[in-house]
Amino acid sequence: MSEDYKRAMDVAEKVYDEFEKVFGTTICRDIHERLFERVYNLRDPQRG
């Protein structure tokens, strides 16, 4: 494993942990429900 990869993974782990701490999850659907009280389909502009 390269040193750059290890550093990137350390940063990714911190971001992941912070999301879980703030939102209680890292799943977009669950975060949408908590923030907006509904689920958004970001891939479908008609149903957004």
Q: Give residue limits of the domains in the chain.
A: 3-36
Residues whose CB is less than 8 angstroms from the CB of residue 9 and which lie 6 or more positions away in sequence, other chains included: none
Could you tell me the sign of the dihedral formed by the alpha carbons of 35, 41, 43, 47, in that order?
Answer: negative
Token pair for residue 36? 């907006």
How does pLDDT run along the chain (48 residues), one tens digit per residue? 899 999 999 999 999 999 999 999 999 999 999 999 998 888 887 776
Q: Are 36 and 28 in contact (CB under 8 A)?
A: no
CA 28/CA 40 separation, integer angstroms: 9
- pTM for the structure as a whole: 0.68
C-beta separation of 15 from 21 below 8 A: no
